Chain A
Amino acid sequence: MSEHEVARVKVGIVSCSGEEIPEGTISRLACRKVLDELRPGRTVTICLPLFIAAGQEERAFTAKFPTITVDGCAKRCAQRSTEALSGKPAASLVISEILCAEQCNPPVNRRNLTKHERMIVDVIAEKIAQTVDEVLS
């Protein structure tokens, strides 16, 4: 398999870590669900701080493979960092915007999520998985 072919079968997910906000927890959990359950083997997690702090492995991966950024809020740390360090992401999602479009109440907890917040995780994870398929198609 050529390097070009390899590059089309993997995608890097750059998640907001958002320790301060509930959307950060949603982002982390949704991204992990995609990585572990919905699209395992086709997705790779990119540690955002390590990526920004010149992590050799994260930067080498994003230089070669497409990326999807998942941000918790409009500050878009993941997207802005990816654009600055490895070029335009293949797709960029913002959780607050998705929830607004879906007319879904925003999360309020950073941990010990409620049933509603667990449902939000599932909605976002499905959205990310769809985006993975679009990027790799």
Chain B
Amino acid sequence: MKMPTDKVVVIPCSGIGKVYGALSREIAYELAERVRPDTVLLTCLPLLMIADEQATQLVTENPVITIDGCPLGCAHKCVESRGVEVAKTFQSISFYVAHKDHKPEGVAELDETGRKLAAIAADELAPVVDELAGGRVK
């Protein structure tokens, strides 16, 4: 069981072949660097997949949000494979579906519209982060 914590771990898709992978990562960076920098922690998805001790400890001790880039759901599945329940899971495509006027482009790096969409998505996820942090976010 997870102990009370004021940190939330966000794990995005690791894909480098589709725009939705880049969007997932940009949303995670927006959360960790702009929206909730004191609360959100990132860890590398492949570290979990090679059972890295520190990464595993991080997701074991803190609530986890996964943001996947495609329905294969690597991020979500990977965290669960470590015996950890994911608190909230999202697919980055759903943010585009909700904001059709912000069509993201770019695979290696998002274009300006994609970055705006990531910022909107991160703002929308802020209450989810706050809730998982148990109201301890200032």
Contacts and interface: CB of A to CB of B under 8 A. Distances in A.
A and B pair up? yes
Given A45-B17, A48-B14, A78 B108 contact: no
Contact of A18 (B17, B44, B52): B44
Contacts of B14: 17, 19, 47-49
Interface in B40-89: 42-47, 49-50, 52, 72, 74-75, 77-78, 81
Interface of B: 11-17, 25-26, 28-29, 33, 42-47, 49-50, 52, 72, 74-75, 77-78, 81, 107-109
Interface stretch (A25-33, A87-95, A99-107): A25-33
Given A19-B14, A49-B74, A55-B72, 8 more contacts: A17-B45, A18-B44, A19-B28, A20-B42, A47-B16, A49-B49, A53-B78, A77-B44
Contacts of A49: 13-15, 45-46, 49, 74-75, 78
A80 B78 CA distance: 17
A111 B44 CA distance: 15
A19 B11 contact: yes
A129 interface: no
